[in-house]
Amino acid sequence: MIDPYTKEEFQARRSNQVFRCASNRINFHNNKAKKIRHNKSSIDRKLHRNYCIIIELIKDYEIINCSKDFLLGKGFDFGVLTHFNEYNKHRYPSIYDFMFYEKDNEMYFQKIFE
């Protein structure tokens, strides 16, 4: 057999053995996960920053409003979101457990209760 991590040939001791040793298996899967994390990092960083900004602003309230310029000044990126949430027959952009919408030049954030 050929080890997928080191590309070296080895004699398998079991019929389902893929890697020469456990450390090669662990390193192979760690490197695979590292590549995935690296590819997602630019979006995850923005989502994390957006979420932290919302948490900082909303505190114990269910809904808050603030200007779009204020949010942009804090570093909020309106280009990333996790999903759309349906509320009162409308679809609103959402970041994790918060949905947001614009009304009269103000941005409103509302905690999603499900």
Q: Distance from CA of residue 100 to its chain's centroid?
A: 17
114 has pLDDT over 70: no
pTM, to two decimals: 0.75
Burial pattern 69-81, b for ≥16 Cβ within 10 A else e, equals eebeeeebbeebb
In the chain, domain spans = 22-111
Whether the pLDDT of residue 76 is over 80: the answer is: yes
**Sorting pLDDT into bands at 50, 70 and 90, what band is 39?**
very high
For residue 104, name the pLDDT band (cuts at 50, 70, 90).
confident
Question: What's at 24, amino acid-wise?
Answer: N
